[in-house]
Amino acid sequence: MRIGILCHSSFGGSARVATRLAEELAERGHKVHLFARTTPFGEWDPASGVILHTTMPDREEDLHPASLYTNWPAEELEKFLSCVLDVIAREGLDVLHFHYAVPFAFIAAEVRQRLGQGSPVLVGTLHGTDVVVHGNDPVQGPQLAQALRYLDALTTVSVAHARLSAEVLGLSAWPKVIPNFVNLSRFHPLPPPSLGGGWGVGEGLRSRPRIVHVSNFRSVKGPHDVARMFVAIREQIKAELWLIGDGEEMEAVKSIFQQSGVENDVRYWGLQRDVASLLAQTDLLLMASSYESFCLVALEAMACGVPALATRVGGLPEVVVHGETGFLYPVGDHDSAVNFAVSLLSDPARRQAMREAAARHARRFGSERIVPAYEELYQRLLHRHSDY
């Protein structure tokens, strides 16, 4: 198949899923075109076989990679649309699939209006703030719902988000659920630590457990809560925290650590292109999001044998099995989260059992299992499209 995929360029779940899907589809023999405003951060491999189209290559440095840029001016929208239409005309795309609806649902709708039955099959995948932010906006929400009606299929990444999407956007049917996936050849455990109490995870023995948080440090990710919980954990056990990512709340997070006197126990990695090798060197993922449609980083951590401690919101209960592959706690219930962390990190046998369970559970979301669901959807829609 000849497939076009549209996505944002920032350090975020929707862009990472889209670029990995493009690479996986190309590896499976499809001709894949990836459309983005600028080169996607961290996930772009020029040797992947995916053909990259960027419409604002001179703007690579004008936005922080962690920011999600959705308010495109009219001239940028038109330039992006023209690029997509040119490739459709030149390459005869069979499928056009966007990840994240704003602004790409409006671009897909315009493709259908301009090309009619000559347009590719149109597929959209909704992610978190598509619905909880844009969908709930009194002006943009109805406009988005109208644009989605031009699609041939709509998907999302969890049952919880499918339910919420239908409710917020007034959809006549739930989106099809195709969960996020992980490449198990990249995300996998390192040799397990010794049960004798040492904290060796591949890189040699160390003296204390290592907690990790990965995000774009926007308020929805609860980075202030992560900081406060680590301070509370540190009061009970010797531990260190790795922060991977960057964003608008980072300075406030640093201030919390400085005021609490634990700044020497925190390591700032910034935005990283290779997250897998860092995750595999940690012992517990700590997340405090107010909402997650899925939480890709929780899946990636578990694939590396790292249990996830996260809020019980959105699609997270479909990813993390409470008490088996990690722990879930209510938003704001920091005491419970701290107790879970201290209990697990103080029990070598339990943490090893949970490491193994996490890696085993993550295999259910391996790319070799999930990507074929997209292929089957495309093929079914193309068959139906050819009958008209």
- Asked if residue 203 lies in contact with residue 281, where contact means CB atoms within 8 angstroms, the answer is yes
What's the pLDDT score for residue 175?
98
Residue 308 has phi, psi (to 5 degrees) of -110, 130
Tokens 């899925």 belong to residue: 294
Tell me the chain's radius of gyration from C-alpha atoms. Answer: 21
Instruction: Give the residue with greater pLDDT, 234 vs 40.
Output: 234
What's the pLDDT score for residue 199?
57
Task: Encode pLDDT of 351-362 as tens digits.
Answer: 999 999 999 999
Mean per-residue pLDDT for 241-268?
A: 96
Burial of 259-288, coded b for 16+ CB within 10 Å and e otherwise, reads ebebeebbeeeebbeebbebbbbbbbbbbb
Is the pLDDT at 202 greater than 50? The verdict is no
What's the pLDDT score for residue 198?
55
Among 2-6, 194-198, 208-212, 294-298, the least confident range: 194-198
Tokens 């994240």 belong to residue: 100
Q: How confident is the model at residue 244 (pLDDT cuts 50, 70, 90)?
A: very high
Is the pLDDT at 184 greater than 90? The verdict is yes
Q: How confident is the model at residue 67 (pLDDT cuts 50, 70, 90)?
A: confident
- The Cα 152–Cα 380 span in angstroms is 11
What's the pLDDT score for residue 360?
98
Is the pLDDT at 266 greater than 90? The verdict is yes
Is the pLDDT at 387 greater than 70? The verdict is no
First and final CA of the chain: distance in angstroms? 19
- Asked if residue 11 lies in contact with residue 22, where contact means CB atoms within 8 angstroms, the answer is no
Matching fold, domains 2-181+366-386 and 210-364: yes
Q: Which CATH superfamily is domain 210-364 in?
A: Glycogen Phosphorylase B; (3.40.50.2000)
- The Cα 230–Cα 233 span in angstroms is 5
Q: How do 51-54 and 210-215 pair as beta strands?
A: unpaired
Q: What is the DSSP letter of 201?
A: S
Q: How confident is the model at residue 191 (pLDDT cuts 50, 70, 90)?
A: confident
Domain ranges of the chain: 2-181+366-386, 210-364
Is the pLDDT at 56 greater than 90? The verdict is no
- The Cα 216–Cα 250 span in angstroms is 9
Q: Rounded mean pLDDT of the chain?
A: 92
CA dihedral 209, 215, 221, 224 (to 10 degrees): 60
Mean per-residue pLDDT for 42-48?
A: 69
Task: Encode pLDDT of 76-119 as tens digits.
Answer: 999 999 999 999 999 999 999 999 999 999 999 999 999 999 99
Task: Encode pLDDT of 145-156 as tens digits.
Answer: 999 999 999 999
CATH class of 2-181+366-386: alpha beta
Concatenated DSSP letters of 298-340: HHHHHHTT--EEEES-TTGGGT--BTTTEEEE-TT-HHHHHHH
What's the pLDDT score for residue 62?
66
The candidate with the shortest Cα–Cα distance to 229, out of 193, 205, 260, is 260
pLDDT over 90, % of the chain = 81
What's the pLDDT score for residue 367?
97
Mean per-residue pLDDT for 294-312?
A: 98
What's the pLDDT score for residue 299?
98
Instruction: Quote the strand ranges of the chain, DSSP E.
Output: 2-6, 31-36, 51-54, 95-99, 121-126, 153-156, 176-177, 210-215, 240-245, 266-270, 284-286, 308-311, 326-329
Pull the structure tokens for residue 249.
Answer: 């709340």
- Asked if residue 288 lies in contact with residue 316, where contact means CB atoms within 8 angstroms, the answer is no
State the maximum Cα–Cα separation within the chain, in Å, rounded to a whole number: 68
- Asked if residue 38 lies in contact with residue 59, where contact means CB atoms within 8 angstroms, the answer is yes
Tokens 């591949």 belong to residue: 202
Among 73-87, 190-204, 258-272, the least confident range: 190-204
Q: How confident is the model at residue 200 (pLDDT cuts 50, 70, 90)?
A: low
Tokens 């920091």 belong to residue: 334
Residue 64 has phi, psi (to 5 degrees) of -65, 135
Task: Encode pLDDT of 160-169 as tens digits.
Answer: 999 999 999 9
What's the pLDDT score for residue 41?
74
Q: How confident is the model at residue 42 (pLDDT cuts 50, 70, 90)?
A: low
